A and B are shown apart, each in its own frame.
Chain A
Amino acid sequence: MDIEPVRMLTGPGVLRVVWLPGSDQLQGTCHCGAAHVADGPVEVWDWLLAHPVGHGPGRRPDEEEPPTPGRSSPSPVPAFA
């Protein structure tokens, strides 16, 4: 499903919430690509703000991971709800 109407902000640390078409659900996506589907805005922001602990604003998911010893890659993970 295409849930990318338009990407407006282009900074490296953008958090994004898309209202999934045809549903009442919100999908939050971290700047690292990790995503979470929630039933409301309080839950989606709670998840997004808790998630970035351990990785500050950095790369967009399409950018190369620079070598960071001792830390696992914040590569995109599937949504879990």
Chain B
Amino acid sequence: MTTIPRDQWYVAAYGREIGHDLFSRTVCGESILFWRTEAGEVTAMSDRCVHRRFPLSQAPSRLVGDAVVCGYHGFTYGADGACVAVPGQTRVPRTARLRSYPVVEQDSFVWVWIGDPARADATRIPRAPWLDSPDYATVSGMEPLAARFGLLVDNLMDLSHETYLHGGYIGTPEVAGTPITTEVDDAAGIVYVSRHMDDAECPPFYANSTGLTGRIARWQDIEYAPPCLYKLHSRIAPVGSLPNPDGTDPDAFHVEVVYAITPETENRTHDFWAVARDFALDDTSVSDFIAEQNRTVVLQDVAALDVLEQVIATEPAGYQELSINIDTGGLAARRMLTAMLQEPATAAAR
């Protein structure tokens, strides 16, 4: 049985990945062809020719203006996926049309709707405005994960694992040692997990990027909008410093860590990560440091989850997990994902 909710928006790519070239990515088991039209719009359609299913992203298939010409026998499709020419005859079969996907470019991401196009509502795409805001400096990347996307959701919803898996990078003893508060809003489709460490060791990731040394206040506020968008609002400040009542927070450093968790197939995942900061905006050495550190941390997770996927894929059925307090948010996320599988129509209508 599938674990991938349909009738949902997923991040397929960063906008920068798609130019006036044929670009293919598999999302939720569907091979999708992307390109940017001459007017600059991203377009998304099936990457399988309707004739004999040759991949349209595969050379010698090519773009000619705003049309893609299949490299096998020359079926030619417009930006809306409709076939405009076939070889040797003037009549184009009426049904010659590639499946096209609703697509929205927003917050540096290219979002694609997987499911019934009639249900696509772009206003329901969760936002991550920092990623293309001039008030933040952002580094980002994407790592392939050979594991089901639910394992990455589990991983990100419980940051106590930082202490063990990411010691020396972002993990310190206080992360695993500090209680969390969890909130769920089914109508809004949000799971929120808050961990406020008021007197904690400063891990190298933040010491070297902020210049703060010694003890810090470190707040981690997770906001997950299942299935795809995960945001970690990270606040780093001198011990004792609090935000002002009006919301300003001049003594703190703010880092918005964003993940887009996109199933490639049932057992593989696109692990998009981005880190936006509101300090040292023009300091490329800080950007380089954060990019290198965060990629290292992501790859530590990837290595662990790739192993876990193999364990799960080869174990006998019926393994009983044991959940403890740190899993409160992860269990809430799982429940919301399960509900989306059972009632895709309801989930989409919310």
Interface residues of A (CB under 8 A from B): 5-9, 11-21, 24, 26, 40-42, 44-45, 49, 57
Contacts and interface: CB of A to CB of B under 8 A. Distances in A.
Contacts of B181: 5-6, 8, 16-19
Nearest to A27: B181
B325 A19 contact: yes
24 contacts: A6-B196, A8-B192, A9-B183, A9-B192, A11-B187, A13-B187, A16-B182, A16-B183, A16-B184, A17-B181, A17-B183, A18-B181, A19-B180, A19-B325, A21-B179, A40-B323, A40-B324, A40-B325, A41-B324, A41-B328, A42-B323, A45-B328, A45-B335, A49-B335
A8 B183 contact: yes
A9 B194 CA distance: 11
B221 interface: yes
A15 B184 contact: yes
Contacts of A8: 181, 183, 192, 194, 221
A19 B190 CA distance: 19
Contacts of B196: 5-6
A29 to B, nearest CB: 9
B185 A19 contact: no
A56 B192 CA distance: 20
A12 B185 CA distance: 8
A5 B220 CA distance: 13
A44 to B, nearest CB: 7
Interface in B171-224: 179-188, 190, 192, 194, 196, 221
Nearest to A23: B179
Contacts of A19: 179-181, 325, 328
A5 B327 contact: no
Contacts of B331: 41-42, 45
Nearest to A19: B179
Interface range, B side = 20 to 34
> Which 3 interchain pairs have the tightest Cβ spacing?
A19-B179, A41-B328, A11-B185
Interface in B304-350: 323-325, 327-328, 331-332, 335
A27 to B, nearest CB: 10
Contacts of B194: 5-6, 8
A80 to B, nearest CB: 20
Given A6-B194, A6-B196, A15 B328 contact: no
A44 B323 CA distance: 12
B185 A9 contact: yes
Contacts of B323: 40-42
Nearest to A17: B182
Nearest to B330: A41
Nearest to A43: B323
A59 to B, nearest CB: 13
Contact of B328 (A9, A44, A49): A44
B179 A9 contact: no
Nearest to A49: B335
B187 A57 contact: yes
A31 to B, nearest CB: 9
Nearest to A44: B328
Nearest to B187: A13
Given A5-B194, A8-B192, A41 B325 contact: yes
A16 B328 CA distance: 10
Contacts of B185: 9, 11, 13-15
Nearest to A21: B179
Contacts of A20: 179
A16 B184 CA distance: 6
B183 A15 contact: yes
B154 to A, nearest CB: 13
Interface in B80-128: none
A71 to B, nearest CB: 21
Given A13-B185, A14-B183, A42-B331, 7 more contacts: A8-B192, A9-B190, A16-B181, A17-B181, A19-B181, A19-B325, A41-B331
